[in-house]
């Protein structure tokens, strides 16, 4: 059975509604698809039509108009596409094929790819050519080859394959839709007959296992990062297990991974490997165990209790030099330097392992950081030359944005110009990590009364103490938080709209706090001129409401986009 993708179904719906013939050129313009794509989807539709229905063709100088039989068949075809089914786009189909080729231990043939993607042979061949082109654009020197004995496979140095697969999966799990990710996992589980590493049970087990081992590590991995790491790990292990390594390649990999053996993460990875074998019946060799250790080393940490070990004294000195250089070049003063130094050391330890083993870590806030804090970003970039020279690494914009976030939370706070306010009990709720929490705190302090922010929580922490709190305002980066308290939802990097929302709330809160006193004064002023007490109260309330509306309107107009929270 040939399954139609989203674009084919869109064309089918377009053709069904035509009342007069349209040429391929007209259809192309109306659907914003090239003529080549229109012909491609027409071929797919014709392949899917019953044998007793004449194919849909474009008549010269006339175009396409479905007859009654064709229209009924097309409507039946669309009806057969279940309302809850997921129709993959071309990009998604290619992504599915890449993952399958990367992790399949069996011979990958065109027929298997046809079954996997539910498309024709010609479509699979076109997709394979597209994959070759995409691989040629990558930095990892990975090539798609095919032989009679092996079928289709990725040819490259083993470490390059690990780096490419991690990079590919990192982007996939960050950007793909949940619907496609479910389809990808289900199709791979069926095709590979895998109920182990790819199952929901495996994910739950791995999360519980790594969380349990964090005490052994003496470190706390960022929650969003650990979730992403554990989604990638099963595919990474499967991709390694498909490699047929020569003795020389095994020795080369073991030599490259030798430094990992000295780290506590390797000991924890050994325990996790043993648990995987016992729970999931998947046996990992030395290199597979090292892959787990490398991920544990490379992903960002919230806390690290091993910063004072002798191994990292040189790194600590370079961090101090880096901070001093930043203060000097940026002409600013940092506060709580010891705490900042600890956080930078925790961050750069993982950074160095990522650089050494080519483990990608993208920063979703890089664009906002560069736009919102351009001058700060530039100053961090200048000072970071010290890190690049001393550690022989190259820092990209994502790396620099992370460092900028760290510094942004420890800049000396400017004198607050806000007038006093009754707003005193404000709490920030942010699950984006300690560094983002710190930076968000600095931004909010710019727009809220002095000392009004009482604490910063994660969602989990807040829920554990919510019953004990009295809050005037909650500021949350999550749109899923449910609470009885007043709530303003913002981005981790405050946008113009976020500042408007905070300003509106502050004005509204001040008005509500002062309103009883204001109404009383109005009633006193109106008393000599109005005899009826009921009318005095009504007029007082109406004047207050009008005043509220005008002030809120003015506060909206008064907020400009030229705010600089740090």
CATH number of the domain encompassing residue 479: 3.40.50.2300
- Per-residue confidence (pLDDT) for residue 300, from 0 to 100: 77
528 in a domain, yes or no?
yes
301-338: per-residue pLDDT in tens? 777 766 666 667 888 899 999 999 999 888 888 988 99
CA dist 454 and 457 (Å) reads: 10
Tell whether 342 and 196 lie within a shared domain: no
Handedness of CA 276, 281, 282, 285 (dihedral sign): positive
Instruction: Using the predicted structure, report yes or no on whether residue 440 has a pLDDT greater than 80.
Output: yes
Q: What is the CATH number of the domain that holds 329?
A: 1.10.1790.10
Burial of 477 (0-12, 13-18, 19+ CB in 10 A): buried
- Per-residue confidence (pLDDT) for residue 386, from 0 to 100: 94
- The secondary structure of residue 261, as a DSSP letter, is G
481's tokens: 């938080």
66-117: per-residue pLDDT in tens? 999 999 999 888 877 654 466 788 899 999 999 999 999 889 999 999 989 8
460 in a domain, yes or no?
yes
Q: How does residue 236 score in pLDDT terms, banded at 50, 70 and 90? A: very high
Instruction: Using the predicted structure, report yes or no on whether residue 514 has a pLDDT greater than 60.
Output: no
Instruction: Using the predicted structure, report yes or no on whether residue 420 has a pLDDT greater than 50.
Output: no
3-state SS of 234-250 is HHHHHHHHCCCCCHHHH
Handedness of CA 13, 19, 24, 28 (dihedral sign): negative
Tell whether 346 and 450 lie within a shared domain: no
53 in a domain, yes or no?
yes
Tell whether 142 and 280 lie within a shared domain: yes
Query: Of 40, 179, 162, which Cα lies nearest the Cα of 96?
Result: 179
- Please, what is the average pLDDT of the chain? 83
- Per-residue confidence (pLDDT) for residue 289, from 0 to 100: 92
35 in a domain, yes or no?
yes
Q: Cα Rg for the chain, rounded, in angstroms?
A: 30
566 in a domain, yes or no?
no
Total structural domains in the chain?
Answer: 4
Tell whether 67 and 120 lie within a shared domain: no
List CB contacts of 170: < 8 A, sequence separation 6 or more: 228, 232, 360, 361, 362
Give the pairing of strands 143-147 and 151-155: antiparallel
Looking at per-residue pLDDT, the higher value among 193 and 189 belongs to 189
Instruction: Using the predicted structure, report yes or no on whether residue 255 has a pLDDT greater than 70.
Output: yes
Mean pLDDT of 524-548: 72
CA dist 565 and 158 (Å) reads: 46
- Per-residue confidence (pLDDT) for residue 558, from 0 to 100: 40
Task: Provide the b/e sequence for 523-540 (b: ≥16 CB within 10 Å).
Answer: beeeeeebeeeeebeebb
- Per-residue confidence (pLDDT) for residue 530, from 0 to 100: 75
Give the pairing of strands 426-429 and 473-476: parallel
First to last CA, the chain: 59
Instruction: Using the predicted structure, report yes or no on whether residue 410 has a pLDDT greater than 60.
Output: yes
417 in a domain, yes or no?
no
448-488: per-residue pLDDT in tens? 888 889 889 888 888 877 876 788 889 999 887 888 888 89
Query: Of 306, 378, 315, which Cα lies nearest the Cα of 352?
Result: 315
List CB contacts of 298: < 8 A, sequence separation 6 or more: 350, 353, 354, 357, 359, 361
Number of H helices and number of E strands within the chain?
24, 8
Tell whether 399 and 520 lie within a shared domain: no
Give the Cβ contact number of residue 492 at 10 Å: 20
564 in a domain, yes or no?
no
Whether the Cβ atoms of residue 347 and residue 361 lie closer than 8 Å to each other: no
pTM listed for this prediction: 0.64
Q: Sheet containing 487-489: which strands, arranged edge to edge?
A: 453-457, 426-429, 473-476, 487-489
Mean pLDDT of 137-166: 91
Query: Of 441, 425, 550, which Cα lies nearest the Cα of 492?
Result: 441
421 in a domain, yes or no?
no
- Per-residue confidence (pLDDT) for residue 418, from 0 to 100: 40
Q: How does residue 286 score in pLDDT terms, banded at 50, 70 and 90? A: very high
Host domain of residue 150:
90-302
Q: Where are the alpha helices (DSSP H) in 138-220?
A: 158-175, 178-192, 200-217
List CB contacts of 546: < 8 A, sequence separation 6 or more: none
Q: What is the CATH number of the domain that holds 34?
A: 1.10.10.10
- Per-residue confidence (pLDDT) for residue 561, from 0 to 100: 36
Tell whether 67 and 109 lie within a shared domain: no
């Amino acid at each position: 059975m040939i399954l139609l993708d989203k674009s084919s179904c869109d064309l089918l719906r377009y053709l069904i509604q035509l009342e007069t013939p349209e040429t391929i050129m007209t259809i192309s313009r109306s659907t914003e698809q090239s003529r080549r794509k229109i012909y491609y989807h027409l071929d797919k539709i014709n392949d899917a039509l019953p044998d007793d229905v004449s194919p849909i063709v474009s008549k010269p100088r006339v175009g396409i108009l479905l007859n009654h039989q064709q229209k009924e068949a097309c409507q039946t075809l669309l009806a057969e596409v279940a309302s809850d089914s997921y129709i993959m786009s071309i990009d998604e189909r290619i992504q599915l094929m890449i993952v399958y080729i990367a992790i399949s231990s069996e011979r990958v043939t065109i027929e298997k790819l046809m079954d996997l993607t539910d498309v024709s042979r010609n479509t699979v061949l076109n997709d394979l050519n597209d994959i070759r082109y995409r691989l040629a654009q990558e930095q990892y020197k990975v090539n798609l080859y095919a032989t009679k004995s092996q079928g289709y496979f990725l040819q490259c140095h083993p470490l390059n394959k690990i780096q490419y697969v991690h990079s590919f999966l990192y982007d996939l799990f960050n950007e793909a839709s949940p619907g496609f990710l479910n389809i990808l996992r289900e199709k791979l589980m069926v095709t590979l007959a895998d109920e182990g590493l790819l199952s929901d049970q495996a994910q739950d087990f791995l999360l519980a296992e790594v969380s349990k081992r964090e005490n052994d590590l003496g470190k706390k991995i960022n929650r969003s990062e650990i979730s992403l790491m554990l989604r990638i790990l099963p595919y990474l292990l499967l991709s390694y297990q498909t490699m047929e390594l020569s003795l020389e390649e095994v020795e080369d990999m073991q030599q490259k991974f030798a430094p990992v053996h000295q780290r506590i993460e390797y000991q924890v990875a050994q325990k996790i490997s043993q648990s995987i074998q016992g729970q999931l019946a998947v046996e990992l060799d030395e290199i597979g165990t090292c892959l787990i250790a490398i991920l544990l080393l490379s992903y960002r940490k919230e806390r690290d209790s091993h910063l004072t070990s002798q191994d990292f004294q040189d790194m600590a000195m370079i961090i101090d030099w880096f901070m001093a250089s930043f203060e000097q070049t940026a002409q600013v003063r940092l506060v709580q330097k010891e705490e900042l130094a600890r956080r930078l050391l925790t961050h750069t330890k993982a950074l160095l392992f990522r650089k050494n083993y080519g483990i990608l870590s993208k920063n979703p806030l890089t664009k906002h950081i560069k736009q919102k804090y351009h001058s700060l970003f530039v100053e961090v970039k200048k000072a970071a030359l010290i890190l690049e020279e001393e550690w022989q690494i190259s820092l990209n914009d994502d790396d620099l944005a992370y460092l900028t976030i760290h510094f942004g939370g420890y800049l000396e706070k400017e004198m607050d110009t806000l007038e006093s306010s009754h707003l005193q009990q404000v709490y920030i709720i942010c699950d984006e990590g300690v560094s983002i929490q710190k930076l968000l705190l600095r931004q909010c302090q710019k727009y809220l009364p002095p000392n009004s922010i009482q604490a910063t929580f994660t969602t989990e922490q807040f829920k554990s103490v919510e019953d004990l709190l009295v809050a005037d305002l909650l500021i949350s980066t999550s749109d899923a938080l449910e609470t009885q308290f007043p709530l303003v939802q913002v981005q981790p990097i405050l946008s113009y709209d976020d500042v408007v929302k905070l300003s509106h709330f502050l004005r509204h809160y001040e008005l509500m706090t002062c309103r009883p006193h204001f109404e009383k004064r109005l009633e006193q002023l109106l008393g000599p001129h109005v005899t009826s007490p009921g009318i005095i109260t009504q007029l007082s309330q109406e004047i207050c409401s009008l005043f509220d509306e005008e002030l809120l309107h003015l506060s909206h107009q008064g907020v400009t986009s030229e705010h600089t929270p740090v």
